[in-house]
Amino acid sequence: MKNPVSFAVLGYGHIGKRHAATIHAHPGAELRSVADVVDVSSSLESDSEGEQISVYQSIDALLAQSPLPEVISVCTPNGLHAAQCIQILKAGCHVVLEKPIALSVSDARLVAEASTTAGKHVFCVMQNRFAPPSVWLKSLVESGKLGEIRQVHIQCFWNRDDSYYASSPWRGTMALDGGPLFTQFSHFIDVMYWIFGGISSPSAIFKNQSHIHNTEFEDSGSISFDFIRSGWGSFTFSTALFKSNFESSLTLIAEHGTLRIAGQYMEKVVHCDILDYEMTDLPTSAPPNDYGAYKGSASNHHHVISNVVDVLRNGAQISTPISEGIEVVEIIESMYNSGSRP
């Protein structure tokens, strides 16, 4: 592309490196600079394959460069997302904003207001929407083939051990981490919202079973709720599993069928029994983000970066708009407010 979209990455940890690599790989994108509170020059040099990329050690220094990049990916701790996004928007850049967009609905709405005032886009990272089973299920639900949606049950059972929380001081804190529904499982809540819509009347129970010594919140919980559109559901989660991630699954019970999507990252359809419907093979799901000692959700960030380029160069629609990012934060906040957190 003759006029690639220029990017910077704020925060060069695991997820920041994923953003940088994805930007590098896109022919319509160009990584211009990186900022992190620690000096990442040596790490960036080995990652960038000889490209000249400027390195800064604060957001202020990043925003003082001239010319500014068109887009900045915010890949910092959760509790910094909203304020840093607003600062970047005011400086005149578009933002790719990692999940969660904020740790409160009020802060999320401030991000949306700043985006409108600045006339700049916020692209929310909701990459699990692009997983083939998620795309298939949304299309199936919207087709009406399932009839009335009666029940949806999501279970996410992962491992986050002591080494995970010891590796970064912000992890496990209420102010910067916020809890598993924000940090580990917001992508699955987003998929639930994207396909089935909002919820009402949540009722939750939370427990801290394995992380009392290194987190300020629960590591496990179960929430039941009604869907506003149709039916009821539950979301059960834990990061207290032994040794490794176990499963992320969605079970749907409908008027004309039953199905289940499962695997460690909800990457495959394992049961499909629907009236007058024959299941066909889906494209292979992307592998999970592999961070060595632990794994995250599917590595679909290339879809997000492609959408940024398509919006800014071809006038396409944003696939993950800020309004939907707010809805996800609102669901998580309502879940947490419906139970007593340890």
pLDDT in tens, 131-150: 999 999 999 999 999 999 99
- Answering whether pTM is above 0.75, one says yes
Cα dihedral value 13, 17, 19, 23, nearest 10: 150
Ranges in the chain annotated CATH 3.40.50.720: 5-124+302-321
CATH 3.20.20.70 fits 5-124+302-321, yes or no: no
Give the least confident one: 112-121, 226-235, 296-305.
296-305
Check pLDDT > 90 for residue 49. Answer: no
* SS3 category, 153: strand
Q: What is the pLDDT of residue 325?
A: 98
Contact 87, 110 (CB under 8 A): no
- Four-way CATH pick for 128-298: 3.40.640.10, 3.60.20.10, 3.30.230.70, 3.30.360.10: 3.30.360.10
Model confidence at 229, in pLDDT bands (50, 70, 90)?
very high
Residues of the chain within CATH 3.30.360.10 domain(s) are 128-298
Rounded to 10°, the helix 105-118/322-337 angle is 170
Average pLDDT of the chain is 94
Contact (CB, 8 A) for 342 and 206:
yes
pLDDT, residue 39, reads 80
Sign of the C-alpha dihedral, residues 91, 97, 102, 103? negative
Burial of 25 (0-12, 13-18, 19+ CB in 10 A): exposed
pLDDT tens, residue by residue, 80-113: 999 999 999 999 999 999 999 999 999 999 999 9
149-199 pLDDT tens trace: 999 999 999 999 999 999 999 999 999 999 999 999 999 999 999 999 999
Average of pLDDT values for 268-280? 97
